């Protein structure tokens, strides 16, 4: 097949699993945790490396920030044969108990973004795959980090969240933010809703593990707000979850 226009990959990588950070700079660090890692391609926000986990080829590819580039990356990876997608990234805490350095495994995502709406109406939920979520939750707990599992919020505007008062739509942004918190939303990020919806439409599996950087709600209330900008434990959880899923699949094939 010809190489995909945006990601610069064809089906020759042979991988059915992909780990998806947003930041291209994190790709080499994640790939270094795999066996036989090697650079594959770089185009736009998409940097990709290939390695092996439990003998299986696994891709690590950045998606950039936000839903549109995530959707394009997933669509094109799917065309090259990938069927299981795990996002590993960062988030800001929303629930008071979620603190910097914690991990959040996203079970579902609030679709407060635009990309997923061009796939299916808002009544359809953005949900992670159950088996992938279970593997991520087990792996996240093994890192020793305090781990939460539940609903996160996906947005399109970083500064719409952090400085809503100066936005013409600020009143609506703040009303919805408080609504999500009241309903139990754990954290805010920018990619999982698009990932979950695109994967669902394609018939693929997807999951998401996030490292919490900080919690602006705790800061707002005068509570301690530790910061953690190192996603190493989330990366460890993603790699371990992929290994568990591969071994599970191999065990089922032998049975």
Predicted confidence at residue 254, as pLDDT, reads 76
Query: Mean pLDDT in the chain?
Result: 97
pLDDT digits (tens, 9 = 90+) for 102-149: 999 999 999 999 999 999 999 999 999 999 999 999 999 999 999 999
Within-domain flag for 4: no
**Looking at the predicted structure, is the pLDDT value of residue 189 above 70?**
yes
pLDDT digits (tens, 9 = 90+) for 11-54: 999 999 999 999 999 999 999 999 999 999 999 999 999 999 99
Within-domain flag for 1: no
Q: How many CA atoms lie within 13 A of 37 on its CB side?
A: 13
Predicted confidence at residue 250, as pLDDT, reads 86
Within-domain flag for 19: yes
* CATH number of the domain within which 36 lies: 3.40.50.1580
Predicted confidence at residue 253, as pLDDT, reads 78
Number of domains observed in the structure of the chain: 1
pLDDT digits (tens, 9 = 90+) for 149-161: 999 999 999 999 9
Within-domain flag for 195: yes
18: phi then psi, degrees, rounded to nearest 5: -140, 135
Within-domain flag for 236: yes
**Looking at the predicted structure, is the pLDDT value of residue 186 above 70?**
yes
**Looking at the predicted structure, is the pLDDT value of residue 255 above 80?**
no
Within-domain flag for 237: yes
State pTM to two decimals.
0.96
88: phi then psi, degrees, rounded to nearest 5: -125, 120
Domain that holds residue 49: 11-254
For residue 68, give the nearest of 12, 116, 1 by alpha carbon: 116
**Looking at the predicted structure, is the pLDDT value of residue 163 above 80?**
yes
Within-domain flag for 169: yes
d(CA 77, CA 86): 12
Residues 66-95: b if buried by 16+ CB within 10 A, e if exposed: bbbbbbbbbebbbebbbbbbbbbbbbbbbb
| CA 160 to each of CA 23, 81, 155, 166, 230: distance values in angstroms, whole numbers, following the listed order | 20, 36, 9, 8, 24
Within-domain flag for 120: yes
């Amino acid at each position: 097949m010809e190489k995909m226009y945006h990601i610069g990959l064809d089906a020759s990588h042979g991988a059915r699993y992909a780990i998806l950070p947003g930041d291209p700079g994190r790709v080499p660090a994640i790939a270094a945790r795999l066996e036989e890692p090697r650079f594959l391609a770089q185009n736009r926000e998409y940097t990709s490396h290939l390695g092996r986990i439990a003998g299986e080829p696994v891709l690590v590819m950045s998606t950039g920030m936000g839903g549109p580039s995530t959707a394009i990356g997933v669509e094109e990876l799917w065309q090259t044969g990938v069927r299981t997608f795990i996002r590993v990234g960062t988030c800001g805490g929303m629930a008071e108990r979620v603190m910097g350095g914690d991990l959040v495994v996203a079970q579902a995502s609030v679709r407060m973004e635009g990309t997923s709406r061009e796939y299916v109406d808002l009544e359809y939920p953005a949900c992670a795959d159950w088996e992938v979520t279970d593997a991520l939750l087990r792996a996240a707990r093994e890192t020793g980090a305090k781990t939460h599992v539940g609903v996160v919020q996906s947005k399109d505007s970083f500064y719409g969240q952090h400085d809503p008062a100066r936005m013409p739509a600020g009143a609506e942004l703040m009303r919805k933010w408080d609504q999500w918190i009241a309903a139990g939303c754990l954290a805010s990020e920018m990619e999982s809703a698009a990932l979950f919806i695109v994967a669902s439409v394609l018939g693929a599996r997807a999951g998401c593990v996030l490292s919490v950087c900080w919690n602006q709600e705790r800061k707002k209330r005068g509570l301690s707000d530790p910061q953690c900008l190192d996603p190493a434990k989330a990366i460890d959880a993603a790699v371990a979850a992929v290994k568990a899923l591969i071994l599970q699949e191999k065990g089922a094939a032998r049975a």
